Structure formats: structure tokens, C-alpha cells
Amino acid sequence: MQKQVVVIAGPAGSGKDSVVQGVLRRAPNATLMVTATTRPMRPGEENGVNYHFLTKGKFLTELQAGNILEHYHRADTDTYYGTYKPDIEARIASGKVVFAVIQIVGARYLKEHYDATTIFIMPPSLEILEKRVRARAPMSDIEWQERLTHTRREMEEDAPFYDYRITNEEGKLEAAIDGVIEILTKEGYNLGA
């Protein structure tokens, strides 16, 4: 059976989204899974493109019906995020390689149920990660310390679960993209590249 699902994960600021976008540009047979969420749509976002935007009631109904395969709840904002079965199943049925950028709970689920190859994108250092994160969104030192605690936990506890780890070195995004394509080619994915 042809492998079709890939999980890319990593801490905020690791460059995982840039790596995935780079792979998608070079792999015509690849697509990005769209997650379901209960958070409000932001300006410029499109339903079914950025997220499947659901009301909390609809999300919980879909969860009960088995259409949310795995999920997590962000308590501070009372927001749900989850893998939306109709989205991933339709993408798989189209023959595409489906990329999922999700948390560890989702990575475990997709590995177990879809034989996903899992790749964790590592920052080159915590100092460079801090520079990247603070450049994207100004934050207080206290907020950074909270983010750092979460990032350390991801790197120490979550990263070992993943099949592969790639370091996204500063200024070497193309090398990280090449690394992901190499891994997936070795794993037998049909990227169409």
C-alpha cells in the first residue's frame, strides 16, 4: 500500500510551515490537510483553505459522529482544533500525499491509523528560536519564558517519538526542504517531483 500521510511538527518558530510550503511548491502530488477549529476566522482567511471553521456545537457534534479523528482543546481561549476526517479522507482518495502540520496527539493518531511518516523540525538553537519568535510577535519576557518551557518540553519529550528530526538551520531553509524530500523519497512516497 502506497504511503500517503506525512506529519510535520516542531515548536513555534522552528520553520515547519516554511518547510512544508517549500515541499508543496516542489511536489505536485502533495497537498496540505486542513484542520477543523472553533476559533473565529481572521481577516484574509478562507473556510476550507486555512481551517474548517466550525461552531463549538458543530465541532462537538462532528467529534461525537467520529468525523474529528483526534483533537485538542486550548483551555485559555476555549478553542478546539482537530483532524477533520472528511478533509483527510478526500485528499487521500484523490491520490495525493497529504501533509499534516499538527501537535503530538495528532501525530501519534496519524502514525497509528494512517501509517504516517513523522518528521520533527528542530530549531538550530534556543537563541535563534527566540529571535525568530520575537520577530514574529512582540512578547514580554514572562511570555517568552512560558513559550520556552513549552518548547523545551516539545524538544525533549515529543521529538524522540518522531521517525526523523531535521534541523532548520538559520538561512538554510532549502537544505531542510531537501532533507524532507529525501526522507519521503526513501520512504516510498509519490511526490510527483
Mark whether 84 and 149 lie in a shared domain: no
CA distance 78 to 80: 7
pLDDT at 83: 94
Quick one: CA torsion of 178, 2, 4, 156, rounded to 10 degrees?
Answer: -70
Measure the CA–CA gap between 112 and 122, rounded to whole angstroms: 23
Element (H, E) at 153: helix 141-153
Res 123: pLDDT:
87
Distance CA(39)–CA(78), nearest Å, equals 9
For position 193, what pLDDT does the model report? 59
- The structural domain count of the chain equals 2
Give pLDDT tens digits along the chain (193 positions): 679 999 999 988 888 999 999 999 999 999 999 999 999 999 999 999 999 999 999 999 999 999 999 998 988 899 999 999 999 999 999 999 999 998 888 899 999 999 999 999 998 888 887 888 778 777 788 887 888 888 888 888 888 999 999 999 888 999 999 999 999 999 999 998 5
Same domain? For 86 and 113 the reply is no
CB-side neighbour CA atoms (13 Å) of 133: 22
3-state secondary structure (DSSP) of residue 189: coil
| 8 Å CB contact between 110 and 102 | yes
Cβ burial of 186 (10 Å; 0-12, 13-18, 19+) is exposed
110 and 151, same domain (yes or no): yes
Quick check: is 127 in a domain?
A: yes
The whole domain housing 175 covers: 1-14+102-185
Of the candidates 71, 50, 174, 187, the one whose C-alpha atom is nearest the C-alpha of residue 118 is 187
pLDDT of residue 11: 87
Residues 74 and 147 in one domain: no
State whether 127 and 156 are in the same domain.
Answer: yes
**pLDDT at residue 143, rounded to an integer:** 82
